[in-house]
Amino acid sequence: MIQYIGQEKLIEEIYNRKQEHVFQYWQSLSDENKNSLMKELQGIDFDLMEKLFQGKELPSVGGYSPAPTIDPSKSGKEEIKKARDIGEKCIRGGKVAAFLVAGGQGSRLGYDGPKGKFPVGPVSGKSLFHYHGEKIKAYELKYKVKIPYLIMTSVVNHDETVAFFKENSYFGLAPELVMIFPQNMIPSLDTEGKLIMKNESSIFMNPDGHGGSLRAMESSGALKKIREMGIEIVSYFQVDNPLVKIVDPLFLGFHIMKEAEVSSKAIPKAYAEEKTGVFIKNDDGRTGIIEYSDMPEEKLQAKDDEGKLLYSAGNTAIHLINLDFIERVTGKNEDTLPYHRASKKIKAFINGGVKEIDGLKYEKFIFDALPVCKKDMVYETVREEEFAPVKNSEGKDSPQSAKELISGLSRKWLIDSGINIPEKVKTIEISPLFSVDGENIPKETVILDKTEICLE
């Protein structure tokens, strides 16, 4: 057994759990590397890893049916007005913070760096971070309030993200209200349940999924800070969607009126195989989301009496989450979100060289908050107005499709405002600082007869 003063118990545990291969290179490590390996090992919950490997902590799926949803377009005028008023009051009262999860890399996009740096402005070439930042600034100006902005990164992209915000002067936001913090990491395992080495002195870990964002918000101190500022609800969104309405009074109003702890926006799925999760109601009455890849073919294709998709409420990954709820699930000894397991190829350090092996990666998903919250709401919204995910390098859900959707919505806003658009104009971009939700576009706005137009 290796020796390390002060860590005898941990070392014994590692041997007892038959993970001693992590010390394979111990004798040749520098003191600094010995130190950092011990530090990593101290952070690992071996009990949890064992349970995960045995499948004890994995969520189980029972029977389910489509989740009931609320469609605001079917509400009466009075209810809409009431909801909007309640939502606006909540925003003006400084009770809402924005919460962006940006821990993932743009690997599916073939982009080497934080996905938020990826350019999506169809004319300006503005990045996703730029877009989101300007939107929050625009809401601050619109509602005359300061909106704290929480951004979860991961160790892989944290420093680059912070540097990008600094270089861009926080997109006009107050730096002390922009809280950027990395998520936690969890080891991957090989198919025998053994820890995987990344190199001689480091364990292979992966970010713990966007479900880890609540815990990261708590451990970074951001949760306490926003609570002290009087925040009651966070508006959660993903980095890859430039059309997200980060602060939406109507959504907030319905969330408050329905006394929900967690609310989610759904869009009708475009086709059965679309790669979104769908909202379901478990047989025990609780709401949940099932990823399209986990749905049996007959459910994926099932139609209702009118021939429409039965499981059609697609997950936009836009949520409102109450601070009370976050405090409850991240409180002492509580961490109710389960881990999901995915089989992945992993580059492992084995016998002095790197080799690709089959491994198991564990992640938490934010939507597992739905079955554990006291009350939730699934709110239907319009795809063209709120959902333009940038996932793939080309084709569906690509930078090109997102640019077309941004341009299409900008065009609609101009038409709805009675502005004449010359025929030559193909691509239009409206900066959130010019109009954040299509309102207050001056009637006298003149659109030049050019193929590309950007209103700043």
Site residues, ligand UD1 (CB under 6 A): 101-104, 115, 152, 154, 183, 207, 209-210, 238-240, 276-277, 289, 291, 314-317, 363, 365, 389, 391
b/e map 195-226, b = 16+ CB within 10 Å: bbbbeebebbbbbbbbbbbbbbbbebebbebb
Question: 220 CB contacts (<8 Å, ≥6 apart)?
Answer: 179, 181
- Measured CA angle at 234 (ends 233, 239), to 5 deg: 165
Would you say 261 or 397 has its CB closer to ligand UD1?
397
H-helix or E-strand containing 16? helix 8-16
Nearer to ligand UD1, 309 or 414 (CB): 309
Residue nearer to ligand UD1 on the CB measure, 136 or 428: 136
The helix, strand and coil proportions of the chain, stated in percent and rounded to the nearest 5, come to 35, 25, 40
CB of 247 to ligand UD1, least distance (A): 18
Least distance (Å) from ligand UD1 to the CB of residue 370?
12
What is the closest distance, in whole angstroms, from the C-beta atom of residue 106 to ligand UD1 in the complex? 9
Q: Closer to ligand UD1 at the Cβ: 43 or 230? A: 43
Q: How many angstroms separate the CA atoms of 247 and 234, rounded?
A: 10
Residue 276 C-beta: closest distance to ligand UD1, Å: 3
User: Could you tell me the smallest distance in angstroms from the CB atom of residue 377 to ligand UD1?
Assistant: 17
Tell which residue, 41, 401, 308, has the closest CA to residue 33: 41
Cα(88)–Cα(292) distance, rounded to whole angstroms?
35
Distance in angstroms (rounded) separating the CA atoms of residues 420 and 123 = 19
Closer of 340 and 411 to ligand UD1 (Cβ) = 340
Q: Which residues pair with 376 in a beta bridge?
A: 262
Instruction: Rank residues 115 and 137 by Cβ distance to ligand UD1 and give the closer one.
Output: 115
> Closest Cα partner for 276 from 314, 237, 241, 238?
314
Give the span between the Cα atoms of 388 and 403, in whole angstroms: 8
Q: Which C-beta is closer to ligand UD1: that of 242 or that of 277? A: 277
Judged by beta carbon, residue 104 or residue 148, the one nearer ligand UD1 is 104
Distance in Å, CB of 301 to ligand UD1, minimum: 18
**What is the DSSP-derived secondary structure letter of residue 138?**
H
The least CB distance from residue 389 to ligand UD1, in Å, is: 4
What is the smallest separation between the CB atom of 154 and ligand UD1, expressed in angstroms?
6
